[in-house]
Structure formats: structure tokens, C-alpha cells
Amino acid sequence: NAGVTQTPKFQVLKTGQSMTLQCAQDMNHNSMYWYRQDPGMGLRLIYYSASEGTTDKGEVPNGYNVSRLNKREFSLRLESAAPSQTSVYFCASSEFRGGAAEAFFGQGTRLTVV
């Protein structure tokens, strides 16, 4: 099983360029997330989608937009990339039953903005 698949794995952007990070999960999970990982800061939540058709901001949403295209896919868009958005981005999914669930992570997208 593929689990959570992210594309691309690596990307270099120039300041001001836009791009979309793609994420798909094949576990039929309702909830999906985008995190960014920076050295010494752990993972910080950018946006999440509790279920198909809903999205909400996390801790660090500025400069990003998301789309929950369907139950499987959750994309993250950078409209005008900035060097501060250089990071490793992780998509995750989970299924809440009884109020708790572990998250399953993709392999990450390493983004550099120059």
C-alpha cells in the first residue's frame, strides 16, 4: 500500500514564484494535514482538513492556501514564495474513531526558495 504520497520530493523556487504541493492518501481517511518542519522547531501545522469539503488554519497559515479536492487529495499552494518558506513540508492523514487517531505521514517535500 502506498499510504500517503507527496509530489514533488524536491523543488527549488525563485522568490515570487508560485507552486502547488500535491498529496494523496489511499487509506480512506477523513482528516488530512499539512505540516512544515524547520530545524529546532519540530513540525508546525499549516492547514488541516477534518473532512472532505472543510479546511481550517493551523499555527502558521500565512502565505499558504489549501484545497481539499476530494477525500483522497489535499493540496498546498504557495502563491508568492518567500525565502522564509524554505522548509520540508509533510502531508499526513488520520481517521478519528472514538476521539483519537495516529497520523500517517508522507515522505516529505524539500522546498528551497532562493
Partner 1 sequence: AQSVTQPDIHITVSEGASLELRCNYSYGATPYLFWYVQSPGQGLQLLLKYFSGDTLVQGIKGFEAEFKRSQSSFNLRKPSVHWSDAAEYFCAVGSKSDTGRRALTFGSGTRLQVQP
Instruction: Classify the C-alpha dihedral 22-26-28-34 as positive or negative.
Output: negative
Query: Which residues is 42 bridged to in the sheet?
Result: 38
Please report whether residue 27 would count as binding partner 1 according to CB under 8 A. no
Q: How far is CA 19 from CA 30, 75, 94, 102, in A?
A: 25, 10, 25, 29
Please report whether residue 55 would count as binding partner 1 according to CB under 8 A. no
Q: Which of residues 80-109 bind partner 1 (CB under 8 A)?
A: 90, 92, 94, 96, 99-108
Q: Out of 16, 56, 79, 83, which residue is the one contacting partner 1 (CB under 8 A)?
A: 56
Strand 74-78 relative to strand 104-105: parallel, antiparallel, unpaired?
A: unpaired
Please report whether residue 61 would count as binding partner 1 according to CB under 8 A. no
C-alpha Rg value of the chain to the nearest Å: 13
Please report whether residue 53 would count as binding partner 1 according to CB under 8 A. no
> Amino acid letter at 56?
D
Give min distance, CB of 77 to partner 1, in A: 19
Closer to partner 1 by CB, 14 or 99: give it: 99
Query: Which residues of the shown chain bind partner 1 in the complex (CB under 8 A)?
Result: 4, 31, 33, 35, 40-45, 48, 50, 56, 58, 90, 92, 94, 96, 99-108
